[in-house]
Amino acid sequence: MKMTFQKLVIGASMAIGVSAIATAPAHALSLTFNNANEIKTYTGGSNGNFIANDTVAASQALTDGNVSSNVELWYTDENPTSNVGFTATEGNYSATVSSVTASDWSSFSSQWLGDLLNTYTPFKSVWNGFSASTQSLITSSFPSLGIGDPNIGSFQFGQNGGVELQLVGDLDVKTKLSQTISTDLGQAWDGGVKSLFPGKTSLSISALDVQTKISLLQLLPTSATLQTQINQLTSYKDLLNFQATLNVYQGKIGASEIAKVVTDNKTYYAYSFNSTASGITASDDGVSYSAYYTWNTPGYTAPTPPSSSVPEPSVMLGLLGVAGVFVTQRKFKKVSI
């Protein structure tokens, strides 16, 4: 019975030691949200639920290792007017992730456009042939694309304090760009182009018709009014060519939504054009969330998985102490005999 008791004590001590190893303290990730009324959580999978204004559910979705569970930042519409999101802290590391406003677009639209054109090269030569005014017109429409309200599937810090996000969604920028170009064409037609084609409708005018009109106007004596008309027509022709290119392009132009990330006193805009199939679709429409996009800060190194094979020094000392007691008791027993 005495030996059995000793074994039980040692066994319990070893169990405590192993538990201490497995739960060795580490810096915990902490999340705080700056506007809970503008976040909505999807619990994951194809049968998930949507939970609005719940920071506990949001924190779970961002850290559960399930990319299909996600948090939408600024969910009431697709055009954020403020930076809604969360701040993550872990030890000495800190990062803020938020929605993207029209003001933010002015800071990175050229970067985003360049990456878009480098990914979908058929549009690059078309874009480079546009006048500066046409390029400016299209760029100014980017905030209305509705991709500044990101769905964040996961967040984590790397070994060096870098950040990795997974952005969940199934976005076809081709559709949104087509809608934007159609709007721009309508505004240009009503804004002055229509007066240059009396008796015609916008649908009956082609890029060739517009170029013919430009060539005729260029034969007239130069004037400020004439130059304005030529500029309007040139922009209208560019928009028609861009629309035609979009219409004949096969497949969709896949892109993630965009998140603003501020960490280590630097501002980044998280987005990608390279998707990974998620294997699920959202429970409400059966289409959304079928893909996700991974983004990280430059030089990011993934965190090292926790190891349970190497105990903390204090735990080792505790185990050695237990073993010492056991050896001493064995020696004492031999002397007694």
Would you list the DSSP string of 197-247?
Answer: STT--GGG--HHHHHHHHHHHTTSPP-HHHHHHHHHHHHHHHHHHHHHHHH
Give pLDDT, residue 25. 43
Give pLDDT, residue 332. 40
Distance separating alpha carbons of residues 159 and 118, to the nearest angstrom: 31
| Chain mean position to CA 332 | 67
| Chain mean position to CA 146 | 13
Task: Please name the residues in contact with 78: beta carbons below 8 A apart, sequence gap of 6 or more.
Answer: 146, 147, 148, 149
The answer to whether 142 and 112 have CB atoms below 8 angstroms apart is yes
Give pLDDT, residue 317. 41
Give pLDDT, residue 304. 86
DSSP 8-state code for residue 204: G
Give pLDDT, residue 23. 42
Distance separating alpha carbons of residues 252 and 33, to the nearest angstrom: 34
Give pLDDT, residue 305. 80
Helix (H) or strand (E) holding 336: helix 313-336
Give pLDDT, residue 307. 62
Q: Which residues of the chain have pLDDT under 70?
A: 1-27, 306-337
The answer to whether 296 and 165 have CB atoms below 8 angstroms apart is yes
| Residues present in the chain in total | 337
Domain ranges of the chain: 2-23+306-336, 117-146+170-255
